[in-house]
Amino acid sequence: MTSIGSVTKQIAALEISNNKKPTAAAGSSFRPGHSKQSSQTNVAKLLTKFSAPNAFPNGSKPTQGSSLRHPTTATNATQASSSKASASKTHAQPPMDIGTYDGGLEADDEKRGEKVYGEAAEDLALDSSVSGKNPTREWTLHDFEMGRPLGKGKFGRVYMVRTKSEPKYILALKTLYKSEIVQSKVEKQIRREIEIQQNLRHPNVLRLYGYFHDEKRIFLMLEFAGKGELYKQLSKYGSFSERRSSRYIYQMADALSYLHAKHVIHRDIKPENLLLGINGELKIGDFGWSVHAPGNRRMTLCGTLDYLPPEMVEGKAHNERVDYWALGVLTYEFLVGAPPFEDRSSVNNTYRRIAKVDLRWPEDRELTSEVKDLISRLLQRDPQARIPLADVLRHPWIVRHNRPRESES
């Protein structure tokens, strides 16, 4: 059976454009166990945490891996023989099992969602094939074989699917019902999330490859996160080792540096919004509260209470350094199993602890002085006093457990 790893490697070789073939993607979004208090009613996880691809136009297929942009035909016997041998080897492998489809899309379509009209219909007529920048081929729901369900979101379901056209890539497909988006008054948020994520290219940021729509729904094609939701791992083990945590925080700091360089503030960093790729690498997978804010200071209260910094709790303007604070909270939760300021008995107590930066170290486990130093330097009341991400990547606790990437070397 074809491995997810081999599929993922094929996907990674592709760039999605109007002359490329579909890539694969998937992952699931479900948070078991204890739930966190939200600072805003119905904070929607708008983009699910999986991935997708794009195919070659008109069903054309390159004969060589190096000819993705300009398919060519083999011109000599050696090339033809090589292509034939490769094709034979590929066909000898059984197709990957994508699971059994449960008919959920048809069932949903009968009882939920309505057509939208007017300005809302125009706002939600989202199609990456007519995108001004890097348009994809045209996609419809009929281009996919439906597989097992991967999860449910507020506005629809997520399924593991396979493209019908060769080379039959695996991906995850998320549905969003337009009328429910309109009822929740988040049309602009949905568009913003899609616009932000479709332009991001980083190994630790989940890729959005394409999207299309029909009369009632929007479909998102997202990168496959082969090992699923990080929060499930955290719930399973209770906490992570310093070595494992350091590797995740290194990847997070690198991804956040990339986002901030593009003037994207995430504003909702937490375990539920992180996925794991096939090699166990971390993927930031939800941009529902992200904002593209070049030079702007924001006043909106959003995100999850346990991860809100003092400036947001107090309703003050904030900038990208809210993500520095969240990185400190995430580091603490990875190691301890709970956020540092959480008070389950009272939301107000949580607010007060955040405002005072009431940071307490657990008595039932030992943390090294290095990680305590990093957490303390991230969880500073004054945003300007928080350790910069470049210094996080050079911090002794990070360096001890990670090798620098080639770009940093």
Residue 36 labelled as part of a binding site? no
Residue 270 labelled as part of a binding site? no
d(CA 193, CA 289): 8
d(CA 94, CA 113): 38
Which pair of tokens denotes residue 349?
């107590």
* Helix-strand-coil split of the chain, %, nearest 5: 40, 15, 50
Asked if 328 and 375 touch (Cβ cutoff 8 Å), the reply is yes
Asked if 309 and 357 touch (Cβ cutoff 8 Å), the reply is no
Reference 326, options 282, 266, 382, 237; nearest CA is 266
Residue 215 labelled as part of a binding site? no
The SS3 call for residue 210 is strand
The reply to whether 268 belongs to the active site is: yes
Query: Looking at 102, 109, 268, 391, which residue is catalytic?
Result: 268
Per-residue burial over 272-300, b if 16 or more Cβ lie within 10 Å, else e, is bbbbbbbeebbbbbbbbbbbeeeeeebee
DSSP state of 44: -
Residue 225 labelled as part of a binding site? yes
Residue 92 labelled as part of a binding site? no
Residue 122 labelled as part of a binding site? no
DSSP state of 99: -
Residue 272 labelled as part of a binding site? yes
Reference 249, options 272, 267, 274; nearest CA is 274
Residue 224 labelled as part of a binding site? yes
Residues tagged in the binding site annotation for ATP:
154, 174, 223-225, 272-273, 286
Provide the annotated active-site residues. Answer: 268
Binding-site members are 154, 174, 223-225, 272-273, 286
